[in-house]
C-alpha cells in the first residue's frame, strides 16, 4: 500500500452517508479544491475536534473554494447521531472498509479494534494530491487554517507563473 504523494491522482472513493446517499470523491469537489479526511471514529476526541473545526470553518473554506469530505468506520447510526449533534454539513461517510481504503491510499490501519488512523489530503481542482498527512495515531492532523493558507499560496504561485 503505497503512500499518496504530491502530484499523485487521488483514487476514486464512494462515501456512503447516513440515509443511503453516496458521495463520489474526488468528483464531489466539482472543480474546487478538496479536503479528504479519514478519522478514527466518534469515540476519538481528536477526531471530533478536527471535524468540528472544519465545520466551524465552513464559510471561510467555501469562500476560498474549498470543499470537505470525511470518512470513518463507524456505523450509520453512530454517524447520523454525530452529524446531527455537531451540525456537520459536509459529507461524512460511514462503515468504511478500513483495509480497502488503506490499500488505495496508504492510510494506516489499527487492527483491534479495526479503524483508519487519522489521514488527510488536500487536492487541487483536478483531483491531484497537493499534500498528504498520514498519522500513525491520534495526533498529527490537517487543520482548516493550514488548508486555507496552502490553497491561497497555490493560487498565488500558479498566478505568478502563468
What digits encode the pLDDT tens for the residues 61-81? 999 999 999 999 999 999 999
The answer to whether residue 162 scores a pLDDT higher than 80 is no
Calculate the average pLDDT of the chain: 96
55 backbone φψ class: left, alpha, beta (φ>0; ψ -120 to 50): alpha
Express each pLDDT in 89-135 by its tens digit.
Answer: 999 999 999 999 999 999 999 999 999 999 999 999 999 999 999 99
Q: Which domains does the chain have, with CATH numbers?
A: 13-161 (3.40.30.10)
Neighbour count for residue 47 (Cβ, 10 Å): 23
Does the reported pTM lie above 0.85? yes
Res 161: pLDDT: 72
DSSP 17: P
Amino acid at each position: 500500500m503505497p503512500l499518496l504523494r504530491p502530484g499523485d491522482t487521488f483514487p476514486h472513493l464512494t462515501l456512503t452517508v447516513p440515509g443511503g446517499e453516496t458521495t463520489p470523491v474526488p468528483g464531489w469537489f466539482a472543480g474546487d479544491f478538496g479536503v479528504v479526511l479519514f478519522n478514527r471514529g466518534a469515540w476519538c476526541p481528536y477526531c471530533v475536534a478536527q471535524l468540528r473545526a472544519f465545520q466551524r470553518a465552513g464559510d471561510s473554506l467555501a469562500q476560498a473554494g474549498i470543499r470537505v469530505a470525511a470518512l470513518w468506520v463507524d456505523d450509520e447510526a453512530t454517524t447520523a447521531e454525530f452529524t446531527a449533534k455537531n451540525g456537520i454539513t459536509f459529507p461524512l461517510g460511514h462503515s468504511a472498509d478500513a483495509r480497502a481504503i488503506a490499500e488505495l491510499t496508504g492510510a494506516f490501519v489499527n487492527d483491534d479494534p479495526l479503524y483508519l488512523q487519522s489521514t488527510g489530503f488536500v487536492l487541487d481542482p483536478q483531483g491531484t494530491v497537493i499534500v498528504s498527512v498520514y498519522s500513525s495515531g491520534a495526533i498529527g492532523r490537517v487543520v482548516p487554517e493550514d488548508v486555507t493558507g496552502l490553497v491561497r499560496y497555490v493560487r498565488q504561485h500558479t498566478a505568478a507563473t502563468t
